[in-house]
Structure 1
């Protein structure tokens, strides 16, 4: 079994992955500035600190063989804040992981790295997971930059790095867009498990999405590294619940983020 460092472990995605990874038999190191709301369980170790605190990173990396890098600002924000958290923070994680001999990293990129791709609603499966970036915000730019850092460290340090373009993450789809671009917690777990099994160095940009009926996402890039999502947003909700979902902008993959003022925080 693996020992995984989860950065940003107290966040929404980290909180959903923790019990699933423990159930799969893995040990976890949890790094976050905030104490996780769920108590630290047997098989877990909590290290307080941020990805810009290299001392805390070095402590958290002791004994780890895989990193799940989730820390960062998850939406549009001022440029300098995004660069510090999402780019410098990712550089620190990859640099310290490489120095510690960690060979596998899954890092949370985003659909917003390709957010201004016009959404081909009538052409399912046409947008590859490793499509060239077309960001919709400064946030999306930093996620595209994260992917470039993944490429750099995979090539220079012989690491296996997966840049996971996460969509509408949640236990259930929460909008009509999510019916197409949903990421279920169980499918994200499957991508983490596929990353743990990687042995050949390389950088892989993949859709971290469920197998949603009618989605424009082509899942082939993920399948090439053993990621085979099983969930489908169209089967999670009954027809009445699907019809009641709020409408959302469907012009672009990133939806309404394209209309946000650049650099303005949404929190």
Structure 2
């Protein structure tokens, strides 16, 4: 580009294009047409078919494979996928000289997460263990995108448990396990989706506290129970006092009712055990009795 300033023509330097660094893909999404094995690969495959025909029917023992109902077989021909869809269940045909079989189990797999030393958000060290349930929903991705799907999921579950529980308080960890398990399941499921693995469930089995902290929590719980018991007893005393006050007001309004209540109490005491009791009579009751007799 040219520009003129004070009669002087200057040439602006052409900006250099920025180099775009494209990171290699970390996973294979199996989109588009699968690449072929090439010309040399076709020759090897044709030679393998010729050997199968020459040694027929002995070659049937090597070319026919069987997978169970809960299994699928991923076939790699000269290191390349032959089909996006895995083979099985039942019988299928392979070329023994060029094909490699990877059998994947589709059943739900369970493994225990070993106890992890975790520092909670409120600086309490606990030991937590759990259990993870997962299954393979895409055998091809489980073979192509990860070296060992089960071991990778196992290690990922350990790190996810430590990272998630480290953001929780001890009270949340003890009382809200279901929500924590659901959060861990969502994180694991998103991470393992590119591996063809579905995490079905995550459960926290046990939370172990330090012995000193257990004693402190037990003492705190006992103190709380004693405080509640004292509050309940005080409320009972208050209710009883209120009831006695109301009864006293009623008896004060009717002297005859007071005398009858006194005699009823004497009758109840004498009916329980045969003992001799000496009771002082109220002065007002004596005055009323002697006053009436006179």
Q: Same fold (TM over 0.5)?
A: no
- Higher strand proportion (structure 1 or 2): 2
The TM-score, its normalising length taken from structure 1, stands at: 0.22
The TM-score, its normalising length taken from structure 2, stands at: 0.21
Q: Which of the pair has more CA radius of gyration?
A: 2
